[in-house]
């Protein structure tokens, strides 16, 4: 008898999804990213060392965010229509594979791809940042030596100063926050694609909800603390309930400036991500289970 | 149809569950400094549509850097009004990054103020007035920055430097001293306590002279003596009419050179 839930089946579907997406050559973005990072790493040498490192981090993390959001929306939006077009979906579902396993396989496939992409980009970015940091430090120390002020105290101070703006473990937690955000967007797009009539519709609506989600905090705060009529309150509540809060993942802005991500803060973010993934997966299942294919 | 209704109910329930949760997490992140306060809608006037959308969409740090680079270019073009406006935008986007406040204040209190002071195309009275206005602008920027980062030794130090070096009113020496004392409180670097005492000694207030004398005497007792410290002590002894037997003996104590003649009040 076939088990009603099988992790190995989900894994098989996830790896097949990764292969399918890799064949679409969407990872070409990685190459573009590397060019952007290297260019940002060595641009504007006239700025002060601290600002040079900040620029590199800002540009790299901006590119990481864009990559993850674009892949999350576009790759996920393409999956179901492509399977229908290729008739792969019929082959899979004619076997004893429950529909929710199919959805989970697709979701995990995209998440694996985004996770691997972010990991590769994080390694590339860390390498360039480390090189830049070492270069900046060497330059500053030699400037101190020329002025005859290279005391051990001054060099230690310089090390601490550059180190704060350089490569830290904390920055990698920022990359994880970007992954969490992409995971929520992936689950959201999968949910939309379960009732959407076309790929374009899925992409447009997903981007719209993602953008609105970045302002959800403002709507929510208006609902909780704002002054206004009943109609405005109800509308704001409805909007806040329907859109996900994307701003809660935007800690990267302050992580770049050296704010530390505590274990509690990280745990909260992981908890919110899990809530979204479970919630959106349940809704996706309810929409997909009766969908006429 | 039944499933679609169920899906809608789950979606609404999910929203109702996560709203208070997200409200709490957002508050927690703001308290711990991981999230900045929401962008003021007034910023939309200064940012392009794309810039505003990008800063809402988690690229606030990147938009701040771009705005900083634009300010840098305007500095090269000697367009002080534009430098001020772009640096204001930059600091509003990232108010917890002390470097932006420091640099914005430096542009106004040093670069712009000096540029106007030495601009021979402008009438002398106007030059002086513009100089004072821009120094004051630098002070205002730092005070605003300190509202966001009150524990920034760097901003307190710059504020002290501006009061000490860029203003001519001896009454402002008290403000410089207080700023340096904040740096000392935050960094425990004794040099700033000496700077504070030096500034107190420059005020017209005898009570402050006494305070300066006590602080400098404490350093003297600990044998942490520099040429400037000794000079200040000698002047204060005269100002305060300290009886001769209580005055410090000048010879016999090795005098250390100032640690860095290019920093602080000696800049």
pLDDT digits (tens, 9 = 90+) for B129-160: 999 999 999 999 999 999 999 999 999 999 99
Domain that holds residue A182: 9-288
Which A residues in the span 86-115 are in contact with B, Cβ-Cβ below 8 Å?
Answer: none
- Say what the pLDDT of residue B261 is: 46
Nearest CA in chain A to B13: A241
A208 touches chain B (CB under 8 A): no
B9/A95: higher pLDDT: B9
**Predicted complex ipTM:** 0.85
- Say what the pLDDT of residue A260 is: 85
φ and ψ of B34, to 5 deg: -80, -25
pLDDT tens-digit readout, A112-149: 999 998 999 899 889 988 988 888 888 888 888 888 77
- Say what the pLDDT of residue B256 is: 52
A223/B45: higher pLDDT: A223
Is A182 domain-assigned?
Answer: yes
Are B23 and A224 in contact (CB < 8 Å)?
yes
Is A213 domain-assigned?
Answer: yes
- Say what the pLDDT of residue B266 is: 39
Q: What percent of chain B has pLDDT over 90?
A: 38
Is A4 domain-assigned?
Answer: no
Give the 3-state DSSP-derived string for A220-283, with helices as H, strands as E and coil as C: HHHHHHCCCCHHHHHHHHHHHHHCCCCHHHCCHHHHHCCCCCCHHHHHHHHHHHHHHHHHHHHH
**Residue A80 distance to chain B (closest CA, Å):** 19
- Say what the pLDDT of residue B143 is: 95
- Say what the pLDDT of residue A45 is: 63
pLDDT tens-digit readout, B47-94: 666 666 666 667 888 888 889 989 998 998 999 999 999 999 899 888
pLDDT tens-digit readout, B255-266: 455 455 444 443
Task: Report the number of distinct structural domains present in chain A.
Answer: 1
- Say what the pLDDT of residue B204 is: 87
Are B65 and A290 in contact (CB < 8 Å)?
no
Q: Which residue in the set A59, A214, A220 is minimally distant from B57, CB to CB? A: A214
pLDDT tens-digit readout, B82-125: 999 999 989 988 888 899 999 999 999 999 999 999 988 888 88
Instruction: Check whether B176 has a pLDDT greater than 80.
Output: yes
Q: State the Cα angle at A250 between A247 and A256, rounded to 5°.
A: 160
The rounded mean pLDDT for chain B is 85
A245 touches chain B (CB under 8 A): yes
Rounded CA separation B262/B267 (Å):
5
Is A284 domain-assigned?
Answer: yes
DSSP state of A287: H
Q: How many CB pairs under 8 A join A and B?
A: 140
Q: Count other C-beta atoms under 10 Å from residue A73's C-beta.
A: 24
Tokens of B76: 């090269």
Is A128 domain-assigned?
Answer: yes
B189/B109: higher pLDDT: B109
Low-confidence ranges of chain A (pLDDT < 50): none
- Say what the pLDDT of residue B234 is: 87
């Amino acid at each position: 008898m076939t088990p009603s839930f099988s992790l190995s089946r989900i894994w098989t579907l996830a790896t097949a999804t990764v292969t399918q997406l890799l064949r679409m050559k969407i990872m070409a973005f990685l190459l573009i990213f590397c060019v952007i990072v290297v260019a940002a790493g060595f641009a504007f040498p006239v700025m002060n060392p601290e600002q040079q490192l900040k620029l590199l981090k800002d540009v790299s993390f901006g590119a990481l965010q864009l990559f993850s959001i674009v892949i999350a929306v576009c790759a996920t939006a393409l999956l179901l229509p492509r399977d229908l077009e290729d008739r792969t979906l019929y082959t899979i579902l004619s076997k004893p594979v429950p529909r929710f396993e199919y959805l989970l396989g697709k979701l995990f496939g995209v998440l694996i791809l985004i996770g691997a992409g972010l990991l590769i980009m994080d390694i590339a970015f860390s390498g360039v940042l480390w090189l830049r940091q070492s270069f900046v430090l060497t330059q500053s120390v030699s400037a101190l030596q020329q002025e005859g002020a290279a005391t051990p105290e001054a060099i230690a101070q310089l090390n601490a100063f550059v180190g704060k703006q350089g490569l830290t473990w904390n920055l990698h937690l920022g990359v994880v926050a970007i992954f969490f955000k992409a995971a929520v967007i992936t689950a959201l797009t999968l949910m939309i694609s379960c009732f959407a009539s076309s790929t374009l519709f899925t992409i447009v609506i997903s981007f719209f909800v993602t953008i609105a989600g970045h302002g959800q905090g403002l709507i929510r705060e208006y609902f909780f603390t704002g002054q206004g009529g009943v109609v405005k309150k109800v509308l704001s509540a409805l909007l806040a309930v329907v859109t996900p809060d994307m701003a809660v993942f935007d800690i990267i802005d302050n992580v770049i400036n050296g704010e530390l991500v505590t274990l509690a803060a990280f745990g909260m973010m992981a908890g919110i991500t899990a809530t979204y993934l479970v919630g959106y997966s349940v809704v996706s299942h309810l929409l997909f289970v009766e969908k006429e294919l | 149809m039944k499933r679609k209704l169920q899906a809608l109910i789950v979606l609404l329930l999910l929203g109702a569950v996560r709203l208070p949760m997200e409200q709490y997490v957002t508050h927690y992140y703001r308290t711990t400094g991981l999230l900045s306060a929401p962008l003021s809608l007034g910023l939309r006037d200064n940012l392009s549509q794309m810039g505003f959308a990008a800063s809402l969409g988690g690229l606030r740090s990147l938009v701040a850097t771009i705005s900083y680079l634009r300010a840098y270019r305007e500095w090269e073009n000697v367009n002080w009004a534009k430098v001020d406006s772009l640096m204001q935008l930059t600091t509003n986007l990232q108010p917890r990054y002390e470097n932006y406040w420091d640099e914005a204040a430096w542009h106004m209190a040093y670069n712009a103020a000096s540029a106007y002071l030495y601009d021979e195309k402008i009438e002398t009275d106007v030059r002086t007035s513009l100089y004072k206005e821009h120094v004051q602008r630098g002070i205002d920027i730092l005070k605003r920055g300190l509202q966001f980062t009150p524990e920034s030794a760097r901003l307190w130090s710059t504020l002290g430097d501006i009061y000490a070096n860029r203003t001519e009113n001896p009454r402002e020496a008290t403000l410089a001293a207080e700023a340096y004392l904040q740096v000392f409180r935050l960094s425990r670097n004794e040099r700033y306590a000496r700077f504070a005492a030096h500034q107190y000694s420059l005020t017209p207030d005898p009570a402050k002279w006494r305070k300066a004398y006590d602080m400098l005497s404490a350093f003297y007792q600990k044998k942490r003596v520099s040429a400037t410290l000794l000079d200040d002590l000698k002047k204060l002894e005269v100002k305060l009419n300290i009886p001769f037997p209580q005055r410090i003996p000048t010879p016999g104590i090795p005098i250390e050179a100032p640690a860095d003649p290019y920093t602080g009040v000696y800049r």
